[in-house]
Structure 1
């Protein structure tokens, strides 16, 4: 069975008889095996006598929920030998890792700046950029079956600001909040900032329209194993109104007076 990477960074698989790629791991159905069926452990399943006959005494095995696609048919819960299921799906920690990854919910970045959004910035004066600390924290989820648990953790690592004036600023951290007691307006942020060099008066709505994107690294650990997933991103639109300060020259006293 061929596989690749989908737009969301997760693996997709191409199963016989299915016209389009499907998730290799589905949070509801489990892992897609080479036989065109999804499997996931069903350790709490209590079979009726007719199904209990599937169990082979003295043989290592477990119950698995099965959901088949395409050219395969059938669904339900079946018993599989441990040696047989090993060829159909990866070790349980890898299955649980994919399920935990699919459950991650990342907060949208809460954008902050000084001057505050909505207040016109001034050409030539530094703008401080940062995101709220509440949106810059690790996010974790855990998937578990009896005897095994795996946690996927997303860690914010980078901010990419597209300011709308053609500039892009990459900051390796949340940025520095503007001090409550203020600083010299000509002081630049020590970690994340931008200085506009032209007015936004000629832009639609008289504002620069851009975005701020948070990049998250994603790892998993559990069951004595661990690994890394492709990065995730979360984006929020931003606008900045930028004005140009106009100087007014007044006539001075005449020479000799």
Structure 2
């Protein structure tokens, strides 16, 4: 077990995050499957150490037994190989110090502030309500389109807008944002149409010749029912306390519906 002089070293070492150092010279650095903790030992009144000098004691922490909630202790004198499993709740470590002391101690895993922010961001992202797109067309759905004329596709008002969600864990917070990036249309005739925006709404109060669509398709063959699928892809980002941030996986939502395309009939009369 540790000596009385080493107890403050153990407590201080476990109270900080990896790769840190405080004003008293206590620090810890994390490496795969081990920790290195160091400190300047404070002299006791009965110590024969000359005044003004503080002997430096170095301790190495080597992962001994992996355990998930089980206090399974390995022998410090055996050559039992280390577990290759990733520690979950924590692990047992063999401690060897430069003053000759040794021990086996249980160290619970600590989650860094950044890891907490990332976890909050992912959870917030999952809670953003992103529904399948509400798609409008011209001619309106349910009415026949014509071969050779543009068939318009566009989203209902308010569909093309970023959405955000923020979560807190004490003083730590993270906010996730989903932003629409593109609209992709499987036109049902073997073609794919990609639009960078929500399309332009058709205005029935204006002449057709004065309007232009940014997302339309011309069907060259008639069909009683074509299955059209409109997909909107959202880009995910997050930011959090401490000025950190990052990118989240994209989200895609789709809506499928039928449209009918017919040929225009010409009326021929004899004069």
Q: Secondary structure at the match of 1:211?
A: strand
- Is residue 101 from structure 1 mapped to residue 119 from structure 2 by the alignment? no
- Is residue 138 from structure 1 mapped to residue 136 from structure 2 by the alignment? no
Measure the CA separation in 1 of the matches of 2:209 and 2:142: 18
- Is residue 221 from structure 1 mapped to residue 239 from structure 2 by the alignment? yes
User: What runs of 5+ residues in structure 2 fail to find an aligned partner?
Assistant: 1-10, 18-66, 71-88, 91-106
How far is 1:120 from its partner? 0.5
| Structure 1 residues 113 and 185: CA distance shift in structure 2, 3 A | farther
| Structure 1 residues 128 and 166: CA distance shift in structure 2, 3 A | same
How far is 1:187 from its partner? 5.5
CA contact (8 A) 2:202 2:211 kept: no
Q: 1:235 aligns with which of 236, 254, 261?
A: 254
Kindly report the root-mean-square deviation, in angstroms, between the aligned alpha carbons of the 2 structures.
Answer: 3.0
Using CA pairs below 8 Å that are at least 6 residues apart, which structure has the higher relative contact order?
A: 1
* Per-residue deviation, residues 192-218 of structure 1 (Å, max 9, x unmatched): 111111100xxxxx2101200001000
User: What runs of 5+ residues in structure 1 fail to find an aligned partner?
Assistant: 1-55, 63-70, 201-205, 253-257
- Is residue 161 from structure 1 mapped to residue 190 from structure 2 by the alignment? no
| Structure 1 residues 119 and 145: CA distance shift in structure 2, 3 A | same
Q: Secondary structure at the match of 2:118?
A: helix
| Structure 1 residues 195 and 113: CA distance shift in structure 2, 3 A | same
How far is 1:104 from its partner? 2.2
Residue 229 of structure 2 corresponds to which residue in structure 1? 211
Measure the CA separation in 2 of the matches of 1:58 and 1:208: 67
How far is 1:133 from its partner? 2.2
Runs of 4+ aligned residues of structure 1 deviating over 3 Å after TM superposition are 56-62, 71-74, 83-90, 185-188
* Per-residue deviation, residues 124-147 of structure 1 (Å, max 9, x unmatched): 111221001222211111121110
Task: Provide the aligned length of Structure 1 versus Structure 2.
Answer: 178
| Structure 1 residues 89 and 102: CA distance shift in structure 2, 3 A | same
Q: 2:219 aligns with which of 186, 196, 213?
A: 196
Measure the CA separation in 2 of the matches of 1:177 and 1:185: 14
CA contact (8 A) 2:144 2:260 kept: yes
Superposition TM-score, scaled by structure 1 size: 0.61
Measure the CA separation in 2 of the matches of 1:173 and 1:211: 16
| Structure 1 residues 243 and 250: CA distance shift in structure 2, 3 A | same
CA contact (8 A) 1:125 1:185 kept: no
Residue 31 of structure 1 corresponds to which residue in structure 2? none
Residue 129 of structure 1 corresponds to which residue in structure 2? 153
Residue 205 of structure 2 corresponds to which residue in structure 1? 181
Q: Secondary structure at the match of 1:143?
A: strand
Task: Please show how residues 45-60 of structure 1 align to structure 2 within 5 Å.
Answer: 60=15
